[in-house]
A and B are shown apart, each in its own frame.
Chain A
Amino acid sequence: MENPSFGMFIAVFEEMFGPVLFWLMVTVAAAVTAVYLYVLIRDRAVSWRKFLLAQLSMPVGALAAVVFVWWVTNSGLGDVGGPVDVIVLLGVPALGAVGMAVFVYTVQSLIRGASQDDG
């Protein structure tokens, strides 16, 4: 089969969410990532106290991701049927955990600022 193009993926996403919501989500994701990089550069160090809280939030993100996927797709744990399903089922919480950690770290950095850093 022929390879899908990048433009095709964009087209599918636009149909999936509607162009406005899709590009809004892309913008929000890009903004959070940019702010995360900003606070890292601003503070010139990883704050381990903030990182601890971020780590503690990871299971919440992981669980939320899996439950959300099951809810959206009318499916559940019992539907895992093969190795690729296990890989996806591990990948979903991994992404959820990392996304949540980045988000929590960024929010803390913005609220608390660099001054209350490491204890």
Chain B
Amino acid sequence: MSIRFQRIFIIIVSIILISIAITLILYNSRNNIIFFYTPSELIDVDLNIGEKVRIGGIVKENSINKKKNIIKFIVTDNKNEINVNFEGILPDLFREKQGVVTEGKLINKFTIKADKVFAKHDENYIPKSIKKQLKNNDFWQKDY
């Protein structure tokens, strides 16, 4: 067993190990390292009431309801909906049909009492004037 032979042996073993490791990591990480759940995912997974969760989705149209300091709105992913109660200051970007991520405690299966609301903006950058034209032509579709 010369040093060279040992080296070759270890090289082969480590290449095999690296390939197994990369497939393991990539295969499993796809849906499991999450910053937030979407509403459908939240309904699928069993979480205890009172547990801390983050959910992300789009604010439903005409669902924002302000009473004094308490703001209620609905987060949707076009399939399922989650009600959110929030007390505090909203970010500038928060409006209807806008992506948000909220962090808070689960009150019941479909309601969250949020501590924090983050607005999520998409990767599309479009000037205001062009956006108006697109909207007039009904060409504009928001994809989520």
- Chain A partners chain B: no
Residues of A within 8 A of B (CB): none
Residues of B within 8 A of A (CB): none
